[in-house]
Amino acid sequence: MNEKFRRIICSLEFHLALVALLNVDLGLWSLFIEAGDAKLNITLRNTLLFAIIVYTVLVFIWRKLLLSKFTWILYLAFSTFCLLSGLPYSSNLYFLWVYIDAFLVLLFFTTFSKQRKMEIIVLSSKILICTIFAIALLQKLITPSFMDGSFYYQAFSSGFFGFQFAPFAERFLFQEGLSLDVIKSNTEVMASMNPNLTLNSTILVPIYQSELLLNAAKFMSWSTIMIEGGCLLLFGFNKKKKNQYLNHLTLFAFLIGTYSIVPIIYDWGLTFATLGMATASRKWKPYYLLTMIYILISAMIFAPVTTALFRHYQGII
Amino acid sequence: MNQKEIAIAWFPSILLLIVGLNHIFYLHPIKGVSKWKGGGIGVYCTNYEKRAITWVKVEDKFLLTKSTLYPHSKLYSDWFSYIPYETDAILKDYVQKKIDQKFILIQESDLRKTSKKIFPNKLLEQNYFKDININTIKLNAPVLKANSVRVHIWEYEYLSPKYGQWKLIKIVEESNNE
């Protein structure tokens, strides 16, 4: 690979440029798509988004702006606005981006050299990957309905949260006799609820019954624990340089596995890939870029399908 | 690396830990905040546990209406609403807005003119309401106000991997005093 290209993607400016782009992406999702019913209305939210897009273009023209503390104060203000304007319903990712921007503000208030700053970013990204996986693992381990396979089983066989899983279910599980009628059945149950039910009334949901699906669900639960646990242990404790490839291969497996199934939350995937890339050597950084491109392409192809299916299932109710 | 540099590197993770553990041990178990929200990094370990369904009463008849408790998002609004978090204040505010809102009765035949969506036979057999908007105004249907609004909060319970049920955990109702 071209040496000049490698030098560019290993630079502090390149990492900061990715972070700036992800701030815009986050804003796009939070302020435009979620907030405005995908309409270009002139609101405070959309105006702020437009302003931050213009500023990001300027940052790309005058790259020295990436090294300015003002830039990161601006991005922190923007991500904080995204977070606060959605409370109490803001997604977990918005919290994470406030932490990342706050970290960069703090970093650019120091007088460390560029190389020192990059080293701190590398260490911070490693710790952050470990912390995210530690919390995510803890959440799963203390949720009995995840550990016994209920979550995956009912996700695949029902329509409660089918907008994420329906395409997966349709692609792979119809062969096992799972029909669209079964996926619909939960929404039909909800449609049958009547206004005069009393408190603590219960409605049993018809769920497709399959031993094979149950085994697949249990396998997926434990696979998730293994791969997230693997990322946590490797990024936390694998200090040998010659074994660093294990960190990256495990994170790639997580990224490709997870965001192929749930492309709609591609921005999480891009965030993980950016953190992983920061920790990678010159040899591995290009593979992170390729993974990011894969996640984006997957999102562009499958996220609209997923959204359409979600609306389809909603429409049935 | 010196201590100052290490402290800066730890900064975002410390914030994440504080908010994450607060979610795990307080916001979710005590306040009922969904694992999908609130900074707890718990997505995809459970479903969106709660849904809200809104019934609007007009002339002694309850009818289902499109609605959402998700104030900043119209994308997911429909005959029910996913709710990651609800408090009495949020619910009261929501119900009051519904009381103040005007509705339009849409007949089955009108629906087909305005929407390409697939609707189930069960709902096509009855009249129901849709929030008023430009498309429905064109229908020339009478504009109505609700006598009362009743919101049901349903919580999903996993009984076992193969069995699950909805449980009605909260009912909020307000009447129109006009």
More confident residue, A293 or A47: A293
CB B55 within 8 A of CB B63: yes
B71 with A149: Cβ contact below 8 A? no
Length of chain B: 178
Q: Coil, helix or strand for A7?
A: helix
Q: Extract long-range pairs of A272-276: CB within 8 Å, 24+ residues apart.
A: A272/A129, A272/A132, A274/A15, A274/A18, A274/A19, A274/A22, A275/A125, A275/A128, A275/A129, A276/A125, A276/A129, A276/A247, A276/A248, A276/A251
Percentage with pLDDT > 90 across chain A:
53
Q: In this predicted structure, what is the pLDDT of residue A237?
A: 95
More confident residue, B130 or A284: A284
Which conformational region is residue B140 in: left (phi greater than 0), alpha (psi within -120 to 50 degrees), or beta?
Answer: left
Q: Euclidean distance between the first and final Cα of chain B, in Å? A: 70
- pLDDT bracket for residue A164 (50, 70, 90): very low
Q: In this predicted structure, what is the pLDDT of residue A152?
A: 86
Segment A306-313 shows an average pLDDT of 54
Q: In this predicted structure, what is the pLDDT of residue B108?
A: 52
- The burial class, CB within 10 Å (0-12 / 13-18 / 19+), for A40 is exposed
Percentage with pLDDT > 70 across chain A:
79
DSSP class per residue in A40-95: ----HHHHHHHHHHHHHHHHHHSGGGGG-HHHHHHHHHHHHHHHHHHTTS-BHHHH
Mean pLDDT check: name the lowest of A8-12, B32-36, B127-131, B146-150: B127-131
Q: Supply angle C-alpha B50, A308, B117, rounded to 5.
A: 90
Q: In this predicted structure, what is the pLDDT of residue A29?
A: 73
What confidence tens digit (pLDDT) does each residue in B168-178 have?
999 999 888 76
Q: In this predicted structure, what is the pLDDT of residue B138?
A: 52
What confidence tens digit (pLDDT) does each residue in A11-44 have?
999 999 999 999 998 887 766 555 544 455 667 7
A314 with B75: Cβ contact below 8 A? no
- pLDDT bracket for residue A301 (50, 70, 90): confident
Residue of A nearest to B119 (CA): A316
- Cα A228 to Cα A93: distance, rounded to the nearest angstrom: 17
In sequence order, what are the beta bridge partners of B106?
A: B128
Nearest chain A CA: its distance from B55 CA (Å)? 6
Q: Which residues of B touch A317 (CB under 8 A)?
A: 78-80, 120, 123
Which residues 273-302 of A are in CB contact (within 8 Å) with B? Answer: none
B19 with A201: Cβ contact below 8 A? no
Nearest chain A CA: its distance from B58 CA (Å)? 13
Taking alpha carbons only, the member of A315, A274, A278, A190 closest to residue A18 is: A274
Q: In this predicted structure, what is the pLDDT of residue A194?
A: 80
Check residue B54 and report its DSSP letter.
E
Q: Which residues of A touch B120 (CB under 8 A)?
A: 188, 191, 316-317
At B169, list the tokens. 């955990």
CB B128 within 8 A of CB B65: yes
Task: Give B86-98 as a 3 state SS string.
Answer: CCHHHHHHHHHHH
Residues with Cβ within 8 Å of residue B40, at least 6 apart in sequence: A92, A135, A139, B19, B20, B23, B24, B27, B28, B33
CB A75 within 8 A of CB A22: no
Q: Which residues of B touch A110 (CB under 8 A)?
A: 4, 8
Q: In this predicted structure, what is the pLDDT of residue B44?
A: 84
Is the backbone peptide bond immediately before B84 cis, with ω within 30 degrees of 0?
Answer: no
- Cα A62 to Cα A22: distance, rounded to the nearest angstrom: 18
Mean pLDDT check: name the lowest of A153-162, B60-69, B127-136, B150-159: B127-136
Q: In this predicted structure, what is the pLDDT of residue B50?
A: 85
pLDDT tops 80 at residue A161: no
- Cα B78 to Cα B52: distance, rounded to the nearest angstrom: 10
Segment A114-122 shows an average pLDDT of 95
Segment A140-151 shows an average pLDDT of 94
- pLDDT bracket for residue A192 (50, 70, 90): low
Candidates A93, A112, A131, A232, partner chain B, best to mutate (most B CBs within 10 A): A131
Nearest to B74 among A37, A131, A161 (CB): A37
